[in-house]
Structure 1
Amino acid sequence: MVNSLNFKAIKFNSSVKLKPLLISILIGVIICFIPKPNMVPRNGWYLLAVFIAIIVACALGAVSLGLASFIGIFILTCTHIITVKTAFSSYAEGVIWLIVCADCLSIGITKTGLGKRIAYNLIKKIGKRTIGAGYSLVICEIILSMLIPSSASRSCGIVFPIAKSLSRAYGSKVGDGTEKKAGEFLMLTALHSNLISSSLFMTSSVVNLLAITMARDLGVKENITFGMWFLMALLPSLVAFIVIPIIIYFLCPPEIKKMDNVKELMDKKLEELGPISKSEKLMIFVFAIVVFLWIIGNKINLDVTTVGVLGLIILISTGIVSWEEFTGKKEIWNLLIWLGAFMMMAGQLNKLGVIKWISSIVRDHIYTKSWMLTLIIVCIIMYYLHYLFASNTVHFTALFSAFLTILLSAGAPTIVSMFLLVNISALSSGLTHYGLAQGGVYFSEGYVKQKKWWFVGFCVSIAHLLIIIGIGMLWWKLIGIY
């Protein structure tokens, strides 16, 4: 008789952890049966239950992010909580495709060797110690934040490939057990430096300009100049730029802490690379075009995503990056899948009134005679509400007006209140790997595990709140802002 199928020999390597999954499902079901608030529609309440259940499942490691995204989409659409069209609506968001196009720049910078050349020179200058290499990424962010108004553009298109090349220069790669040599520390330092730099200049992020516009709509008449913004941000940002990498260094201690012969090693590495090649020169040219257009994009009505698409076209057309190399980058397509789903769910929570309900709870339950205490409570609540958001912009636009109104009615200084809320929104994006688009890019590279990312994000959050509220308030008092 022909050999029959031996079903017992078939092994299924399930990617699902049953116990954590059941816990997350139970939490979701419990939320569903809790009486909903009057101002939240039934589908909004069920959406919140599904979203929290998915967050818990991911936090417990029950399922992968990609699978969790599809589970969420399936539950929401099959129960008609949302339509199929709505479920996939966020995949049309420009920021997602900006990340995809910026990743093509990353491939080009890495493939041509330009990333290695930059990394070796950075290490040669200030990389004798690994923490020095971390501060080189901080310096990159500070310089770029003066020029590029898109935090996602400068992070994903410029700093990320440099951070990846720096990690590899220290012998730290993904998948071979060397992630902790330097890569874990460098990746987290680069990402959190980007969040700090977003508020350093008025033009460092479009959200900053949006805050001024929204504040004026609420009746704020004070004129905030470029110089005033920079002066307010100067000391808190400087302290954060110095302190946060040190905190990350102790939470994620790199296995390679020092290279005594760093200059000789880097000179040898640069010698192996040889003189700058034609492909590197072409990459520099493309890079310069993209950065220049990102800088002046607002003035000529050119969107940052459109500029990213142009960079992609040039790189693939010139052969610096092949179409196969671009489409074969599984990490970026994995990111595209789960980030789009998370952005959709977070956006729907806002649209269906769940976030408005949470804001009303904050407004109705803050009864303090001290505007300072009200300010502290509002900042803490706004910071940790970012666990419910997959975008800094959505987080900001959903909460800013309501929370600024609360602070102004409590008698808090106008400019201080506005500036604090903008900073909190940017800094809190590092709490989770899905908190903003560039966070997903760094996470998808694989150097940092999810639990470590969340742990570092929470520890850093405490430092940020102490710096921005404690040192910030003292500094603003000293320079006469209030």
Structure 2
Amino acid sequence: MVNSLNFKAIKFNSSVKLKPLLISILIGVIICFIPKPNMVPRNGWYLLAVFIAIIVACALGAVSLGLASFIGIFILTCTHIITVKTAFSSYAEGVIWLIVCADCLSIGITKTGLGKRIAYNLIKKIGKRTIGAGYSLVICEIILSMLIPSSASRSCGIVFPIAKSLSRAYGSKVGDGTEKKAGEFLMLTALHSNLISSSLFMTSSVVNLLAITMARDLGVKENITFGMWFLMALLPSLVAFIVIPIIIYFLCPPEIKKMDNVKELMDKKLEELGPISKSEKLMIFVFAIVVFLWIIGNKINLDVTTVGVLGLIILISTGIVSWEEFTGKKEIWNLLIWLGAFMMMAGQLNKLGVIKWISSIVREHIYTKSWMLTLIIVCIIMYYLHYLFASNTVHFTALFSAFLTILLSAGAPTIVSMFLLVNISALSSGLTHYGLAQGGVYFSEGYVKQKKWWFVGFCVSIAHLLIIIGIGMLWWKLIGIY
């Protein structure tokens, strides 16, 4: 029986890269044998080794986030670093199930065609000039960020195909030397507007909700509501939405400034969609209810997760989304698996004193008497560390807790510190073409060369830091956040 097995035929799954995986394992083992600090218990040190190994594996693309999470849970439980109960404790967090429920909304938005209808109508109104077409993509992202809680879903599933169609309508195609007619500008504008919109609403991105939970694990007691989040994001986001496309326009000037037939093109697209359907109207109604309850939920003691469950129930009960469609969307369950594991590890690192130890080391090197100066330094460091990460989520998960602890110990305002770090993690994703999933999608289309992408990303980063720290801090002071 054993002899009949062909061991030579056994190969690693194509999604597993052996060399990067071995490198990450080696790094984890080396950390285990490094003498631990006195203030960190042995289990905490081993947990840090496993966590870093997982981060490295994900950053190198050795394995998927889901598989990395299971590997981490297996190692941590079989070595008794943590108990099985602790390993799966974060799957009981409401925020994870809020994300699952909210993603059901995105299925409805996409399935009914409501997202495309909104986008086509906007482009029809203001897309005659190339700069206007760019701003139509910006407005699409703003509206869709209210409707779809996944930045990757709304970008890759709705806005990217529209940006590609627009580029071709301007006569800008890949491979024939016409990329700079409009495609280069439109692709970069669409991508960067997605990054800005990710922090506009509390539910615009998974990371926003994750930040609230991780901050609570660090002992943060201040509660940030849906309305407070939007109010804080309003002015800096609005400025960024206006300024960033202009910067990209000057860095990547489109060769075609105007297109006369955009109205006819969008009319054709709308004609293909047909008149607004009953399912679209019902989708609008359901979404309005959910957003309204999210806004007033804090006043009527209604948890945001409970509201998300209500939205899911209505969508499935009315047939807008079938149970099979909901359970069959693998992205939701992939997200649930790795997010629960990462939340658990981040929480345990804090509980075992690892985050406190890391923060004390970093604080020694960037100590200043001014919490404002410390905040600026931390934000800059976190922003440009994204060059080392191939995932926004991995970047955020690896750095958020440590940097938030540093800011809080320096006396920086709690809500401001948390909100800034969330924004920095999202905005810095545009530095490179590999900084997040949708970046890879836009880059792989071929309209933007790597050198230009990185150049624009760096120039835009300066504007983002000035806006989010400069204008942001003034705005939050004005509205009484600190």
Q: Same fold (TM over 0.5)?
A: yes
- The alpha carbon displacement at 1:11 in A equals 6.7
- The alpha carbon displacement at 1:288 in A equals 2.1
Tell whether the 8 Å contact from 1:331 to 1:444 is kept in structure 2 after alignment. Answer: no
Describe the shift of the 1:327–1:158 C-alpha distance in structure 2 as closer, same or farther (beyond 3 A). same
- The alpha carbon displacement at 1:279 in A equals 2.1
Which aligned pairs between 1:11-160 and structure 2 lie closer than 5 A?
A: 13-128=13-128, 132=132, 135-136=135-136, 138-139=138-139
Tell whether the 8 Å contact from 1:119 to 1:169 is kept in structure 2 after alignment. Answer: no
Query: Which range moved further: 215-224 or 413-422?
Result: 215-224
Partner in structure 2 of residue 358 of structure 1: 358
Describe the shift of the 1:422–1:276 C-alpha distance in structure 2 as closer, same or farther (beyond 3 A). closer
Describe the shift of the 1:281–1:375 C-alpha distance in structure 2 as closer, same or farther (beyond 3 A). closer
Describe the shift of the 1:433–1:325 C-alpha distance in structure 2 as closer, same or farther (beyond 3 A). farther
- The alpha carbon displacement at 1:122 in A equals 2.0
The Cα offsets for residues 126-170 of structure 1, whole Å up to 9 and x where unpaired, read as 345777555345436667999999999999999999999999999
Tell whether the 8 Å contact from 1:28 to 1:49 is kept in structure 2 after alignment. Answer: yes
SS at match of 1:382: helix
The Cα offsets for residues 109-133 of structure 1, whole Å up to 9 and x where unpaired, read as 2222222222221221234577755
Describe the shift of the 1:105–1:42 C-alpha distance in structure 2 as closer, same or farther (beyond 3 A). same
Query: Which range moved further: 332-341 or 145-154?
Result: 145-154
Tell whether the 8 Å contact from 1:120 to 1:169 is kept in structure 2 after alignment. Answer: no
Query: Which range moved further: 4-13 or 236-245?
Result: 4-13
Q: How big is the alpha-carbon RMSD for the aligned residues of Structure 1 and Structure 2?
A: 7.1
- The alpha carbon displacement at 1:186 in A equals 8.5
* Cα distance in 2 between the residues matched to 1:393 and 1:42: 27
Query: Which range moved further: 403-412 or 131-140?
Result: 403-412
Query: Which range moved further: 120-129 or 23-32?
Result: 120-129
The Cα offsets for residues 319-350 of structure 1, whole Å up to 9 and x where unpaired, read as 22211111111222222222222222222222
Describe the shift of the 1:42–1:452 C-alpha distance in structure 2 as closer, same or farther (beyond 3 A). farther
- The alpha carbon displacement at 1:377 in A equals 2.2
Describe the shift of the 1:257–1:99 C-alpha distance in structure 2 as closer, same or farther (beyond 3 A). farther
Describe the shift of the 1:121–1:247 C-alpha distance in structure 2 as closer, same or farther (beyond 3 A). same
The Cα offsets for residues 389-429 of structure 1, whole Å up to 9 and x where unpaired, read as 99999999999999899779989999998986686577568
The Cα offsets for residues 199-256 of structure 1, whole Å up to 9 and x where unpaired, read as 7799999999999999999999999999999999776444422344567899999999
Partner in structure 2 of residue 386 of structure 1: 386
Query: Which range moved further: 390-399 or 300-309?
Result: 390-399
- The alpha carbon displacement at 1:282 in A equals 2.1
Describe the shift of the 1:333–1:447 C-alpha distance in structure 2 as closer, same or farther (beyond 3 A). farther
Describe the shift of the 1:339–1:472 C-alpha distance in structure 2 as closer, same or farther (beyond 3 A). closer
- The alpha carbon displacement at 1:264 in A equals 0.6
Tell whether the 8 Å contact from 1:110 to 1:161 is kept in structure 2 after alignment. Answer: no
Describe the shift of the 1:288–1:448 C-alpha distance in structure 2 as closer, same or farther (beyond 3 A). farther
SS at match of 2:147: coil
Describe the shift of the 1:36–1:215 C-alpha distance in structure 2 as closer, same or farther (beyond 3 A). closer
Describe the shift of the 1:447–1:372 C-alpha distance in structure 2 as closer, same or farther (beyond 3 A). same
Tell whether the 8 Å contact from 1:196 to 1:427 is kept in structure 2 after alignment. Answer: yes
Query: Which range moved further: 247-256 or 45-54?
Result: 247-256
Describe the shift of the 1:29–1:326 C-alpha distance in structure 2 as closer, same or farther (beyond 3 A). same
The Cα offsets for residues 277-323 of structure 1, whole Å up to 9 and x where unpaired, read as 22222222222222222222222222222222112111211222211
Describe the shift of the 1:401–1:252 C-alpha distance in structure 2 as closer, same or farther (beyond 3 A). same
Tell whether the 8 Å contact from 2:356 to 2:405 is kept in structure 1 after alignment. Answer: no
Query: Which range moved further: 376-385 or 264-273?
Result: 376-385
Describe the shift of the 1:213–1:44 C-alpha distance in structure 2 as closer, same or farther (beyond 3 A). closer
Structure 2: unaligned runs, 5 residues or longer: none
Query: Which range moved further: 297-306 or 150-159?
Result: 150-159
* Cα distance in 2 between the residues matched to 1:384 and 1:403: 14
* Cα distance in 1 between the residues matched to 2:307 and 2:285: 14
Query: Which range moved further: 343-352 or 76-85?
Result: 343-352
Tell whether the 8 Å contact from 2:371 to 2:411 is kept in structure 1 after alignment. Answer: yes
Partner in structure 1 of residue 342 of structure 2: 342
Tell whether the 8 Å contact from 2:95 to 2:210 is kept in structure 1 after alignment. Answer: no
- The alpha carbon displacement at 1:79 in A equals 1.3
* Cα distance in 1 between the residues matched to 2:219 and 2:350: 24
Partner in structure 2 of residue 376 of structure 1: 376
Describe the shift of the 1:389–1:340 C-alpha distance in structure 2 as closer, same or farther (beyond 3 A). farther
The Cα offsets for residues 158-211 of structure 1, whole Å up to 9 and x where unpaired, read as 999999999999999999999999999989977865764687799999999999
Tell whether the 8 Å contact from 2:342 to 2:397 is kept in structure 1 after alignment. Answer: no
Query: Which range moved further: 73-82 or 213-222?
Result: 213-222
The Cα offsets for residues 88-123 of structure 1, whole Å up to 9 and x where unpaired, read as 222222222222222222222222222222222122
The Cα offsets for residues 429-461 of structure 1, whole Å up to 9 and x where unpaired, read as 889999999999999999999999999988865
SS at match of 1:224: coil
* Cα distance in 2 between the residues matched to 1:141 and 1:68: 31
- The alpha carbon displacement at 1:269 in A equals 1.9
* Cα distance in 2 between the residues matched to 1:309 and 1:212: 19
Aligned length: 482
Tell whether the 8 Å contact from 1:332 to 1:444 is kept in structure 2 after alignment. Answer: no
Structure 1: unaligned runs, 5 residues or longer: none
* Cα distance in 1 between the residues matched to 2:212 and 2:343: 25
Tell whether the 8 Å contact from 1:20 to 1:57 is kept in structure 2 after alignment. Answer: yes
Describe the shift of the 1:417–1:79 C-alpha distance in structure 2 as closer, same or farther (beyond 3 A). closer
* Cα distance in 1 between the residues matched to 2:298 and 2:179: 39
* Cα distance in 1 between the residues matched to 2:224 and 2:16: 52
TM-score by length of 2: 0.68
- The alpha carbon displacement at 1:267 in A equals 0.7
Describe the shift of the 1:365–1:441 C-alpha distance in structure 2 as closer, same or farther (beyond 3 A). same
